[in-house]
Amino acid sequence: MEVDDEIMNPKDSKQEDNNNNNNNKPLVVILVGAPGSGKSTFCDHVMRVSTRPWLRVCQDTIGNDKAGTKAQCLALSSTSLKDEKSMLIDRCNLNIEQRADFIKLKESHQVDMHAVVLDLPAKLCISRSVKRTGHEGNLQGGRAAAVVNQMLKKKELPKLNEGFTRITICQNENDVQEAVNTYGSLSSSDVLPPGIFGGKKTDTKIQLGIMKFLKRVDAPSNVASDKTIPESSNVTSDKTIPEPSNVTTNENHEGQESGTHVLDGVPTLAFPFISTADFQFDIEKASEIIVETVEEFVNKIGNGRLVLVDLSHGLKILSMVKSKAVMKNIDPTKFFTFVGDITKLRSGGGLHCNVIANAANWRLKPGGGGVNAAIFDAAGLDLETETKKRAGSLTPGKSITVPLPSTSPMFSKQGVTHVIHVLGPNMNPKRPNCLKDDYNIGCKVLREAYSSLFENFASIVRAQEKSSGYEVSNKKLKGFVEVNESKNMSKDWGTWAQALYKVAMHPEKHGNGVIEVLDDVVVLNDVYPKAQKHILVIARTKGLDRLVDVNRKHLPILRTMHAVGVKWAETFLKENQSLVFRLGYHSSPSMRQLHLHVISQDFDSKHLRNKKHWNSFNTPFFRDSVDVIQEISENGKPTLNEDEKFMSMGLRCNRCRSAHPNIPRLKSHITICKSPFPANLLQNERLLRIAPNKDDNAC
């Protein structure tokens, strides 16, 4: 009779010893901001609420009654670091040179270096500086305006490659408040994830919502973090570590190093420890194998990242993995650890992992406790059914990928599209196929298990990269597999790229985000809106995949799509009269099924993260609906501007056309740019709005 591992004794928890090492590595936060940007207030607020002891190093006050100097600040910082104090460096630090000497402190002290940039509008900084009285540095009144202007001219936003592990950019008061909350809630042993976190201007409610969740993210550089969060701990709002809700990829940060740390949109595999709990595999050996295999795969997973997740942060093996990853210099943005429930990473921790791994049993069955039971429970029957379709059992060392149907709660709530079941070696005599302490075989099998898991994840990443490309139907371009050579060359759309098609065909089944269903079209909120308002009007016509498929006979559906788009834009304009809308198609879309974008022109969204995002809406690649209709009426086909060159064009403001080196700078510019829209957009009703600027009319 087969031994049913689901009903055996509860697992032996001997290896789940807490380790008592504290991660009390001090943190140095370098404030970056013009006079009047609120640096001192930021420090005050953080220090008022924080349980971590902070020292504020302020150039304005350090000289007592005389003007302080940078040298004094450096000397105090260095002494205080010897006492392992965390510090807020409260001086302008507006250029690389000013920051460099503080960053150098890393060479002689074990310390994490962060930057918080108070990149508030110049006008605001100037008016605050001018108005203030009793300023610690005596910079106030008329003189202040000139100084602020002068300093801002030389402003250089910090970059990770200066030596920072984390940069937070605040562009408005909400961002500042969020950063205060983030740093104010850090206890002495907490660490924040690495990366660049940019300010956003809306969604305050969402930000605050996210702050309610208790979470820890440990970068491997945090060698031995151990703040105990009881597994049953309730979410306590006063002890939260808010996950930054807006994260900027650094690909658009000029000269930035290549690592990317984003919460949404980056393919991410969350995986638990395999075999070390119920299967009682030696944790020292397991940690070695994990880090070695991660090291081997970290460069084979494209832009994906690997996150080792465990419910309990106190596990000794977690610290072992983290320190080994540091020793091996593994990029902390590509691999890090996260403490939380693997089944609730997005809703409970704000970390979006599209793929999760399961430490499965050989029969690929639910139950058995541990992570296996949790994942099958959370994913519902769908996972069981889809797993069964693919395999009835699994051999130790192997893994199997199971795509999760969109009906699974784990898909809809957590954004998990695939579960990869992995079976590790079993060293527990009470479980089937025990290796009886044969670590020669055990290590080999565990290595195979992780390799197989990462290999399967790499395949998912490759498939997604393929199907999300902007490539045109040109044999030489990567991304789309041609299935025939007919005029319109249909293509194989990957699973991910079929989502809109599914919604259009079966809105009743795939209703998430649908706001209107009509006979000919379905209207959907874009799941990753690139502006305050961004919806899709999807045609329900079969075989109408994209613009290249459209001809004269489709004019009625194109007109319907346009009319429905206009109706929705008008609805949004009633709620917010300041919005401006543009309606159009991507020349070569990444998703199957013809869909019209109705998008507000503020581009105020955390999801707008890179050049492709911007250029797909702000170059000729974006075809205005009115023009498409006109061209088809006149020529029977639309003009398609599919060339990849549009995606790599320089970033230009959609109003004044000024050039910007990266997305954060562009974003901060567009929030204040009041220039009229370019003349071509002002014609032919390409823009929809309530009351055009008089400036625009002048154009």
Interface ranges with ligand AR6 (CB under 6 A): 5, 11, 272-279, 309-312, 341-343, 359, 361, 368-372, 374, 424
Cβ-proximal residue to ligand AR6, closest one: 370
CA atoms of 373 and 258, how far apart (whole Å): 38
In DSSP terms, 595 is beta-bridged to 538
Nearer residue to ligand AR6 within complex by CB, 370 or 529 = 370
Give 291-357 as a DSSP string. HHHHHHHTTSSTT-EEEEEES-TTBHHHHHHHHHHHHTT--TTTEEEEES-GGGHHHHHS---SEEE
Nearer residue to ligand AR6 within complex by CB, 141 or 392 = 392
How many C-beta atoms lie closer than 10 Å to residue 487's C-beta? 8
Of 253, 586, 595, 607, the active-site residue reads 595
Nearer residue to ligand AR6 within complex by CB, 16 or 60 = 16
Nearer residue to ligand AR6 within complex by CB, 302 or 429 = 429
Distance of CA 685 to the CA centre of its chain: 35
Nearer residue to ligand AR6 within complex by CB, 32 or 342 = 342
Half-sphere exposure of 629 (CA within 13 A, CB side): 18
Nearer residue to ligand AR6 within complex by CB, 118 or 360 = 360
Nearest distance from residue 298's CB to ligand AR6, in Å? Answer: 21
- Contact between 486 and 656 (Cβ < 8 Å): no
Q: What are phi and psi of 432, to 5 degrees?
A: -65, 155
Sequence-distant (≥ 6) Cβ neighbours of residue 430 within 8 angstroms: 8, 9
Nearer residue to ligand AR6 within complex by CB, 214 or 573 = 214
| Cα 8–Cα 12–Cα 15 angle in degrees, nearest 5 | 150
User: Does residue 595 carry a catalytic annotation?
Assistant: yes
The DSSP H or E segment spanning 57 is strand 54-58
Q: What are phi and psi of 336, to 5 degrees?
A: -150, 170
Distance of CA 81 to the CA centre of its chain: 32
Give 653-678 as a DSSP string. -TTT--EESSHHHHHHHHHH--PPPP
Half-sphere exposure of 539 (CA within 13 A, CB side): 25
Nearer residue to ligand AR6 within complex by CB, 260 or 280 = 280
In DSSP terms, 18 is beta-bridged to 315
Instruction: Looking at 188-276, list the stretches that DSSP marks H as alpha helix, in order from N- to C-terminal side.
Output: 204-211
Q: Nearest CA to 593 among 543, 658, 642?
A: 543
CA atoms of 472 and 480, how far apart (whole Å): 8
- Please identify every residue annotated as catalytic: 595
